Structure 1
Amino acid sequence: MHIHLLLLLSFTVLTACHRVEPVPEPPEEVEGATVYTTTASGTLFRESKIAFGAPEDVHFYKLTRTDESFQSVDGFGFAITQASCYNLLKMSAEDRTSFLREVFCRKNGLGSSLIRVCIGGSDFSLDEFTCCDTPGIENFAMHQSDIQYLFPVLDEIMQINPDVKIIGSPWSCPRWMKITENGGAAYDRWTGGRLNPEYYEAYAQYFVNWIVAMEQRGYPIHAVTLQNEPLNRGNSMSLYMSWQDQRDFIKKGIGPAFKKAGLKTKVLVFDHNYNYDNIADQRNYPLHIFEDAEAASYVAGSAWHNYGGNVSTLDAVHSAYPDKEIYFTEASIGEWNYTFAGCLINDFRDIFLGTLGRYGKGVTLWNLMLDSNGCPNRPGGCTTCFGAVAISTSDYSLKGITRNSHYYNVAHCSKVLQPGAVRMGTEGYSTAGLTCQWYLNPDGSNAVLMLNESGSDITVNLVTSAHSIPCRIPARAIQSVLWTD
C-alpha cells in the first residue's frame, strides 16, 4: 500500500513538473505604417502603428504623392563640439555607448547621419587653438585637444554608423595669418581680424592638411565651410571674412589647392545668418561669390544659420542659382528663447520644413550635449546656450540626460528619412496650420513629415496606389510616418 501510494505521488509530481502548457500564438503583426508623434504638451516621440486601409475607400482629407521630385537629402544631426565630447567622455563607457547608439544607430536608434565639427577651437572648446599655432604651415599637426576629446567620440560614432557625413568649419585661422581689417598690420588675437592675402595659399594648405589627416584617421570629410559666421567680429574665436575676401581666397587658395590634392570635399560658402548681420555691403553674400565664374566653379553651395533674418532668404538664393546646394549648419536654443513647446514647433517649421522645402540638403544643429549649466564654454562666447541634450553633472549618467526640443526635431527627420531620400511633390488636402512633406527613401519606402500648428487635432489620409494611412495629428504636434507599399 505504501509502495503504491509512493508511486502515485511520484507520478503526480513528475507529470506536474513536465506539464507543457500550450504556447499562445503570437499576436498577428499589424500590416501598416509606423508613426512617431511628439506634442508641445509633452508626448515625446511616441511610436504607434496604423493599419493600412484601401485607397479606393478614401474620399476626404486625401493627400497623395505626385511624380514631381526635388532635392535629395544628406541627413540631420548635431555639432560634435569639444564641449559635447568632454561631457560624453565623463559618462561611463556603457552609458556613452548606449547614448551614441540611441542617436546614431540606423536600425535601433534615430539614425542621425550628418554632423558638424570644428576645425580647431570654438566658443565650445576647452581652450582657443588651431592646428598650426606655430608660424609656418610646415608646423601643421592635429591638436592634442582633438586627440584627447574629439577623436575618441568620432571613433565610436563611426563604428555605430560608418555612413555619417562630416562638415568641418573653422572659427579662426591661425593668429599669425591675421592682419587688421583696415590695413596690413599684424593682428595677433583670437577675436576678429582679417586673413592676410599673403597667406591664402598657406591657409588653403591648412584645409588640405586637415582633411587628409581626418580621412587618414577614418573620418571622411563631406564638406567644409571656409569660416564660421564670417561677419561676426565678436565671439571667443572669430575672423571677419567679407564676401570679397572669401571669393578671392577661393580663387587664389582653396580652389587650386583642393584641385591639386584631388579632394572631393565640398566647399560651402557663407555659413552665417539670413539677414547678413544687417551689414549693407555684405547682403547677398553667397550670390556675389556665385557670380564669379572662377570662384563658383570650386563651390558646391552655401551654408546658413538662423540667428538673424528669415528662412525666406533662401528663396532668392535657390532661384538665382538652382544648381548650388543649400545646407543649414547651425542653430541653438538657450536662455534667450527656450520653451520646449515653442521651440519644438517653431524650429521644426523654420529650420527643418522651412529649409527642406527650399531645397535644403540637410540640417545640423549646435551642441549635441552640454551639461545642465550649458558648459563647458569659453569667455566671450555663448554662455547661455543649451545643448540638444543636457546631462546632469551629479553623475554624468544616461538617466541624468534631459532631451530638449532640438533632440526631438532631429529625431523626427532622421528616424524616417534615409540619406539620399528625395523630396516629392504632393497634391490634395490642405488646411490652415498643417504642413506636410513627402519623401521617397532609397529603399522605396515612403516617409512623410507633418506639423500641426493649430489648436485642434487634424485628420489627413496619406494615399498611394497600394494603401491609405489614416493619420490623426494632435494639436501643436509633429508627426513622422514611415511605410513601404
Structure 2
Amino acid sequence: MMKYIKSLVLVALVTLSACKEKAEKQEEKGLKVTWKSSSEKTIWSDKTYEERTDALQPEATIVVDTEKQQQEIDGFGGCFNELGWDALAMVTPEEKQQILNDLFDTKDGCKFNLCRMPIGANDYAVDWYSHNETEGDFAMGNFSIDRDKKRLVPYIKEAQKINPEVQVWASPWCPPSWMKQSKHYACKSNPKFNDLPEKWSNTEELVSRFITEPKYFEAYALYFAKFVKAYQAEGIDISAVHVQNEYNSAQNFPSCVWDPKDLGVLISDYLGPKFEAENIDAEIWLGTVERPQLERVTDVVEYGDAKKYVDGVGFQWAGKGAIESVHTTYPDMRLMQTETECGDGSNDWKAAEYTFNLMKHYFENGANSYMYWNMVLDETGKSQWGWKQNSMISIDSNTKAITYNPEFYLMKHLSAFVAPGSVKIDTTGDDENAIVFYNKADNKVVVLAYNDATDNKEFQFNINGKEVKTLLDAKSFNTLTVTL
C-alpha cells in the first residue's frame, strides 16, 4: 500500500513538474490572448487564439511598441435624450433593465462611463423647451429643471445605479429663446417642423444670433450655473459643460449660431468668472465644433482669458477636419469626439464600417474619448424635426421587438476592453485598419482590427517583438486583448 501511495506521489510530482515546465514556456512566450469577433453574419463571437508556427507570410503586419504612448483615454458613452427614454418605456421592465445593463454594466456591458446630455431641448427632445422661457427674467427666478425630472433625470439615475462612475457632461442646443434676436429656438425656417418667420431664417455663419449685450451674457452664465447646481441637488454631478452644440449651424431644430469671438466673450468674461465665483467645479469646454477651420477654435480660445477657463475641445461631424490642427496647436488640451455621425437610420453594417473609420481618425488625432449619439430609439429613428437617424439599439413600437444594431457591437468592441486610463499606442506597418491601446494597470494591449476585405485575411501583430498571428474573418471587427 505504501509503495502504491509513493507511486501516486511520484506521478503527481512528475505531472506538476510537467505543468510547471509548460507554464514556464508559456510565460517565456509572455502572451495570453483573448479574442472577440463580429461580422455581418456572426455577432460578438468568441474566437480561440492558437499560436501559429507556420511560415505563411501575413497579408498585413502591424508593429506595436508599448513605449510609444500617446494620449490617455477618458472613456466612451452616448447621449441621454428624451426620445430614448420614451423608447425604453415601450418594453417590459425586465427588458428595459437588460438594455440598460448592456450599455452600462461594467462586467458584461459596454461599460459606458462618460455620457452627454442636453441643456434644454435638442433635436431628440419630445418638443421645444428651455429651463427658463420667461422673457426678461435676467435674475433666473423662474429657472427650473422640472421637465427633466420626467425623462432625463431618471434616465441618468438608472444608468448610474448600474455604474456609479458614469460621468455626465452637458451642452445647450439653444439658449432660452428670448435671448436670441429672433425670439425663437430655430435658426432656419421650415413650415413643416417649426413656425420661425422666414425673415429670421438665415444660414449665414459667423454671425451671432444670441443678443450680445452684457445683461444677456450675465443671465446666460447664471443659467449655466443654475443648471449645474440644480442637477447637483438631484444627486447628479455635471462633469463639464460644452458651451454650444454646433455653433456654426443654423438648423430647423433648436440651434444657435455664434461668432466665435462672442463665444470667447461668454467664456472669458462671464461663464468662467461665474463658475469661479460660485465654486462650481464643472469644467468648461469649447464644444461642439463642427467645422474644419482652426480659426473657429482659436478665435474662441485666444480671446481674453478664455484659455484660462477652457479645459477641452469637443468635435463632431465636419469638426473632424479641425481636430488634427487643434491637437497640434494645443497639444496639452483634452479632446473629445462628441457625437458620432448618425447616418440616416440605416442601422446597417455599412454604418458600422463608416463609424470605425471615424474612430480611427479621431483617436489617431488625439481624441481622449468617443461618444455615440442616440443609444436607444424606436424603429423610425426620427426626431420631431424630421431627421431619421441611427441608434445603437432599436425598439419596434408595434411589435416591441428589440434589435441591437451593428454599431452597438462596434462600440462594445472598444468600450468593453479599453479601460479609462489606458493610452493610445502609436503603431507602424499596415495599420490603417487597426487602433491599439495599452492598459498600464494590468499590462494589457487591446487591438481593434477591422478586416475590410471580402475574404479572410492573415494579420500579424508584432507586440514588443513578440508575434500574434491571426486569420481574421472577411468584413469583421476584432478585439484582441493581449496580456504581456
Instruction: Mark yes or no: TM-score above 0.5.
Output: yes
Q: Distance in 1 between matches of 2:52 and 2:456?
A: 20
Tell me which residue corresponds to 2:116.
116
Q: How many aligned residue pairs are there?
A: 430
Greater displacement, 455-464 / 77-86: 455-464
Q: Distance in 2 between matches of 1:468 and 1:168?
A: 44
* Map of 2:18 onto structure 1: none
- Once the two structures are superposed, residues 252-309 of structure 1 have per-residue CA deviations (whole angstroms, 9 ceiling, x without a partner) of 2111011112223222214132346xxxxxx631122223351111001211111x47
Verify the 8 A CA contact 1:130 1:174 in the aligned structure 2: yes
Alignment of 1:5-154 (within 5 A): 32-39=32-39, 41-51=40-50, 61=61, 63-135=63-135, 136=137, 137-154=139-156
Q: Does 1:209 pair with 2:226?
A: yes
Find the counterpart in structure 2 of residue 348 from structure 1. Answer: 356
Paired residue for 2:393?
389
Indicate whether 1:194 and 2:210 are aligned: yes
For 2:224 and 2:433, how far apart are their aligned partners in 1? 44
Q: Deviations over 1:26-85 (max 9, x none)?
A: xxx99932212222x33222222324679xx99974633231211111111211111101
Q: Which residue number in structure 2 is paired with residue 299 of structure 1?
A: 310
- Corresponding residue of 1:244: 261
> Does structure 2 conserve the Cα–Cα contact (< 8 Å) formed by 1:58 and 1:461?
no
Corresponding residue number in structure 1 for 2:337: 328
Opposite residue 299 of structure 2, the aligned amino acid is H
Partner of 1:449: 448
* TM superposition shift of 1:339: 6.3
Q: Output the CA distance in 2 between the equivalents of 1:110 and 1:53.
A: 31
Deviations 1:131-178, CA, capped at 9 Å, x for gaps: 112242432444333101111121110011111121201111112222
Aligned residues of 1:84 and 1:367 also touching (Cα < 8 A): yes
Q: In the TM superposition, what is the alpha-carbon distance from 1:465 to its structure 2 partner?
A: 5.8
Give the distance between the partners of 1:348 and 1:62, measured in 2 at CA.
17
Aligned counterparts of 1:456 and 1:438: Cα–Cα separation in 2 = 26
Equivalent residues in 2 for 1:282-297, closer than 5 Å: 284-292=295-303, 294-297=305-308
Q: 1:165 to 1:53 in 2, by over 3 A?
A: farther
Residues 221, 270 of structure 2: 8 Å contact kept: yes
Mapped contact 1:325–1:361 kept (Cα < 8 A) = yes
Deviations 1:353-375 (A, max 9, x none): 11011110111122111111124
Match of 2:20 in 1: none
Letter in 2 for 1:113: N
- Once the two structures are superposed, the pairs formed by residues 307-318 of structure 1 within 5 Å of their partners are 308=318, 311-318=320-327
Identical aligned pairs, as a percentage?
A: 22
Distance 1:472 1:240, change over 3 A: same
2:7 paired residue number = none
Distance change in 2, residues 1:195/1:479 (3 Å): farther
Give, as a single letter, the amino acid of the residue that structure 1 aligns with 2:173: W
**2:419 aligned residue:** 418
Matched, 1:259 2:249: no
| Partner SS for 1:268 | strand
**Alignment CA distance shift 1:382-1:362 (3 Å):** farther
Residue 470, structure 1, aligned to residue 469, structure 2: yes
Q: Residues 456 and 474 of structure 1 are in contact (CA less than 8 Å); yes or no, is this contact kept in structure 2?
A: yes
Amino acid at match of 2:47: S
Contact 2:115–2:166 (Cα < 8 Å) also in 1: yes
Q: TM (normalized to structure 2)?
A: 0.82
Shift of 1:403: 2.0
Deviation at 1:395, TM superposition (A): 4.6
Matched, 1:272 2:310: no
The one-letter code sitting in structure 2 at the alignment partner of 1:228 is N
Aligned letter for 2:260?
Answer: W
1:435, distance to aligned residue in structure 2 (A)? 2.9
Q: How does 1:430-441 map to 2 (within 5 A)?
A: 430=430, 434-441=433-440
Paired residues of 1:462 and 1:468 also in contact (CA < 8 A): yes
CA-CA distance at 1:195 after TM superposition: 3.8
CA gap of 1:212–1:71, structure 2 versus 1, over 3 A, is same
